[in-house]
Chains A and B, each alone.
Chain A
Amino acid sequence: MTFSKTRRLAMTGLRLGLLAVVVVLAFGPGFLEVGTMRLCAQVFLLMVLAMMWNLLAGYADIVTVGQHAFVGIGAYALYGLTAKAGLSLPVAILGAGAVALVLAVPITAIVFRMRAAYLAIGTWVVAEVCTLLASKIPGYGGATGITLPGQVIRALGGNVRDRFANLYWISLGLVVVAYLATALLLRSRVGVGLMAMRDNEEAAGAIGVNLVASRIICFLWAALFLGLAGGVLALLNLRIQPAASFSLIDYTVYVIFAAVIGGVGSIEGAIIGVLVYVGLRNAFSDYSNLYLMFLGALSILIMLVEPRGIWGLIRRVLPENIILVSHPYRGRAGREQGES
């Protein structure tokens, strides 16, 4: 079962390539237009959203259609922590994640009483309730929302270019941290259990994987990163508004399409899915309804051909994932026997 040298080389090449892309992206604000930086920041945040949905649906079998709840909570928390509490931006962004995490605890207690389709509906209902509550908080602009105050916007940067450069870096930082942290989670003991759950839930329980604890960890994990992304999204949009900050379509439905097209149950799938989605969105921007139907049809088609999405197709020729979350067997006493 030894892989040929060329395949091994190809894997190393892909990994270095990915690293190079991240390094080049870090210098993005040096050469990108403001509009492009804004688009990139959106793409990075969508990648965080897709990865979290993927973690829940692809590994923990929690098919949620309510993850926009935590995005919106993050956005509203950011407004509160900056405009009301006067905290600095870095603290407020981290705070947005923390608030989402804390609110996820009672939400977990509610939705985890349900399974499968009921759980999906439950997450949606919870998100709708959150949207409604957000419009009722006094001083947060009601149903029409509210713009971030001038001092918050100025704290982002003195001019438009600086502001978007900072938002770009914050979003890039968030996506890198979210992916690295999630990869480490998947490599940990918990992650080994999640992979087992993904492949066969009953058998995972039978080898001692605590299905309930694993699910709760994933749900809270996702809430934290969704909240962080929600906070940054509020900064990117410069305002909060119930319907927009808690957008079912933008932060859940499209994200699900992206995750499914890219491939559930893999980290690479979430990245690819968002790139394909945004690419299609820009190509079809003139036909909004048609585009939604096309995206839906594409995800169904891909699911039929390869349930593990585009990355599943690519994996038919690649020996392993680029972002290695598995624990390959390396043979006796370091003697290479197989998968590197």
Chain B
Amino acid sequence: MTAERTSALLDLRGVSMRFGGLSVLDTLDLAVAPGEILGIIGPNGAGKTTLFNVIAGVLPPSEGRLIFDGRDVTGQKVWHRCRMGIGRTYQIPKPFGKMSVFENVMAAAIHGGGVSIHTARGRAEEVLERTGLLHRATLEAERLSLLDLKRLELAKALGQRPRLLLLDEIAGGLTQAECDVLLQIVRQTHVEGTTIVWIEHVIHALRSIAGRMVVLYGGKLIADDTPDAVLADERVRSVYLGEVT
């Protein structure tokens, strides 16, 4: 692992991802500065989730390199990257179904967070309280509603105390009040020092919190600016906003 001269916490250099003949990410360059909240938008199928899978290490990129915290992690396993501080949520929740909600978060704190079982218990309780799941603590995770499963995704990631948190569409289906609570949680996590990359279709939520926004389309980033500037961009409006309305 060569040291890289970069001030970015995460640095993607010429990352491509192809599935057979299908090119989903096309020589992508993206740097995430420590302490920022980066919003990612883009139409369905643009490759946003794929991007997270490449960053987290689920998918090996077809080309390019990933630098995290100054180290080349391109060849690193998922769990090593997680232990280095990359936490993520799954757009389609992947709970540990037969474990209790409490144990789900505990497991994340133990393995991703690297703390003792005893410490993990306390942390799981605290995170469940913060994410509004404490009253479900003893329930088997597979019994949760979809909304609660999404909360559990967030709780698991928070239990790891990641340095970089990747959020994949966690605001969908929430009421305005619930969305405000979620924004509060994310803001709080950010204040505590976590860098955040958030993929979201609920644009107003993202706009209210992200310092910077990028648009993924056709495997490329077609815009990279403040949320207001990006959302005002003609091209973005035509390829993205035009499509969803």
A202-244 at interface with B (beta carbon < 8 Å): 202-212
Query: A339 near B: Cβ within 8 Å?
Result: yes
Query: B241 near A: Cβ within 8 Å?
Result: no
The digit string for B63-101, where 1 denotes a CB below 8 A from any CB of A, is: 000000000000001110011000010100011111110
Q: List 21 A-B contacts (CB under 8 A).
A: A1-B138, A189-B110, A189-B111, A192-B103, A192-B106, A195-B107, A199-B95, A199-B96, A200-B96, A204-B96, A205-B82, A206-B79, A206-B90, A206-B94, A207-B107, A208-B82, A208-B112, A326-B99, A327-B117, A329-B102, A329-B138
B76 to chain A, nearest CB (A): 12
Which A residue's beta carbon lies closest to that of B112?
A: A208
Is there an interface contact between A209 and B111, defined as CB atoms closer than 8 Å? yes
Is there an interface contact between B96 and A189, defined as CB atoms closer than 8 Å? no
The digit string for B136-168, where 1 denotes a CB below 8 A from any CB of A, is: 011101000000000000001001100000000
Given that A189-B117, A195-B103, A327-B103 are contacting pairs, would A206 and B95 also be in contact in the complex, using a CB cutoff of 8 Å?
no
B186 to chain A, nearest CB (A): 19
Interface residues of A (CB under 8 A from B): 1, 188-189, 192-193, 195-196, 198-200, 202-212, 265, 326-329, 332, 337-339
Is there an interface contact between B112 and A203, defined as CB atoms closer than 8 Å? no
Is there an interface contact between B137 and A338, defined as CB atoms closer than 8 Å? yes
CB-defined contacts of B103 to chain A, threshold 8 Å: 192, 195, 326-327
Q: How far is the CA of A210 from the CA of B137 in the complex (A)?
A: 25
Which A residue's beta carbon lies closest to that of B137?
A: A329
Is there an interface contact between A329 and B125, defined as CB atoms closer than 8 Å? yes
Q: How far is the CA of A197 from the CA of B142 in the complex (A)?
A: 15
Is there an interface contact between A327 and B96, defined as CB atoms closer than 8 Å? no
Which B residue's beta carbon lies closest to that of A266?
A: B98
Which A residue's beta carbon lies closest to that of B111?
A: A208
Q: How far is the CA of A217 from the CA of B106 in the complex (A)?
A: 21
A334 to chain B, nearest CB (A): 12
Query: B108 near A: Cβ within 8 Å?
Result: yes
